[in-house]
Amino acid sequence: MSIVRVLRAGLSTTVQDFGRPSLREYGVPCAGAMDRLSHELANRLVGNPAEAATLEMTLSGDELEWPDGGLIAVTGGEMSPVLFDVDLPESCVPLQTPVRVPPGARIRFGTARRGCRSYVAVAGGLAVPRVMGSRSTYLRANIGGFQGRILQAGDEIPVGDSDGQRCDLATGEGISFGKWFVRPLDLPNSEDAGLRVMRGSHFGLLSEQSQASIWTDRFVVSARSDRMGYRLSGNALNVQSTGDLLSEGTAIGTLQLPPDGDPILLMADSAPTGGYARIAHVISADLPLAAQLRPGQQVHFKETTLQTAHALLRQQRNDIEKAMLRIRLQG
C-alpha cells in the first residue's frame, strides 16, 4: 500500500470525506468536508467515488512527499502548490485537473491567496480506518481521520488501491497532466461575499430594525471562527423577545443569534441541536462558498425562496455532471 508522507504540517490539515449525516439524529455532528463540492470534484477528477477521503487544508498547506508517486487532483482555495523533484526543476502543480506525480517527488503548498480551504484527492482515496461509518476527522472528539487529529510532520497517510488511472496523461519523467481543466468553483470575493438565505423559524423575533438591517448590513467573519461555526461581527441584531426557546434541530448553514447579537453560521462540525434563535438558513448551493470564507472577510445576506434554492442546487449539480461528461469524452 502506498502512502502520502507529511514533511511539514500546515495550519490545520485533516482527512475528510462526506461525514456522518445519518448519525445527527443520535447527537453526532456530521463533520466531513467543509466545501463538499470541491471535495467531490477532486475525487472525481482522479476516478474516485465522490465520498472518498481527501486532505482538507485550511488557510495554509503542508509539504507532502509521494514515495511511490500517484495520481492526484487539487481543488478549492488557491494555495499555489509547487512540485519538487531532485532530478527535475520546480514546477507549478495545476489546479482542477488530474496530475500524475513521479515517485519521490514533494509538493509544497503555500498560504491561500484566495479562498480558505484546499482539497487534495489521491487515486484510491486515503485509507484511514472508518469510525462510525466515516473516515472524516471530528477534532472536538478526536475521532476519525488520522488518529482523530490535525496532521503533523512525520505522519504517513495510507492510500487505497486504485482501479486504474486516467490514460490521457503523458508518461515518462516528471509531473504530467492533461491539457484541460474543470472551470474553478466560485471563491469568495476578497472584499465582500454574498450568501443567499431563507428566513428561519425565528426570523419574526427580530426587531423591526434588525429585520431590515440583516439584508443591508455587512458582517465580518471573526478570528474565533472554526469548523463548528463562523462568528459574524457587525451591528448587533436585536430580538424583541426570545422567551423560553427550546433546543431544536439545526442544520449546516443555520444562522443562529445568541444573546450578544452577533450571528453564528453553523458549519460542518456543528451540533445537531441548538437553543439560540434560528433566524435564517444559507441555501445548500451556497454552502461551498461559505466554506471558503476566511477570517476578516465581509459577508452579506440575500433573501431567496425555496423554489429558487432548489433550482440553484439542481443547476450546480448539472454543471458538475456536464463537466465530468466532457472529461470522459476527452479521456
Each residue's pLDDT tens digit, 252-288: 999 999 999 999 999 999 999 998 999 999 999 999 9
Q: Which pLDDT score is estimated for 176?
A: 64
Q: Do 207 and 166 fall into the same domain?
A: no
Q: Of the given ranges (18-27, 194-203, 214-223, 233-242), which has the lowest mean pLDDT?
A: 233-242
| Average pLDDT over all residues of the chain | 90
Q: Which pLDDT score is estimated for 320?
A: 87
Residue 319 has pLDDT above 90, yes or no: no
Q: Do 154 and 252 fall into the same domain?
A: no
- Tell whether 26 is covered by a domain: yes
Q: Which pLDDT score is estimated for 89?
A: 74
- Tell whether 318 is covered by a domain: no
pLDDT digits (tens, 9 = 90+) for 291-317: 999 999 999 999 999 999 999 999 999
Q: Which pLDDT score is estimated for 207?
A: 92
Beta bridge partners of 242: none
Q: Which pLDDT score is estimated for 179?
A: 61
pLDDT digits (tens, 9 = 90+) for 41-93: 999 999 999 999 999 999 999 999 999 999 999 999 999 999 987 666 788 99
Q: Do 21 and 158 fall into the same domain?
A: yes
Grid cell 423559524 in the structure block, residue: 201
- Tell whether 186 is covered by a domain: no
Residue 155 binned pLDDT confidence (cut-offs 50, 70, 90): very high
**Domains held by the chain: number:** 2
- Tell whether 324 is covered by a domain: no
Q: Do 63 and 103 fall into the same domain?
A: yes
Residue 330 binned pLDDT confidence (cut-offs 50, 70, 90): low
Residue 34 has pLDDT above 80, yes or no: yes
Residue 323 binned pLDDT confidence (cut-offs 50, 70, 90): confident
**Domain range spanning residue 55?**
3-177
Q: Which pLDDT score is estimated for 173?
A: 53
- Tell whether 319 is covered by a domain: no
Domain-ending residue, one of 148, 177, 206: 177
pLDDT digits (tens, 9 = 90+) for 166-194: 545 544 455 666 666 676 677 777 678 99
Q: Which pLDDT score is estimated for 244?
A: 72
- Tell whether 305 is covered by a domain: yes
Q: Do 132 and 166 fall into the same domain?
A: yes
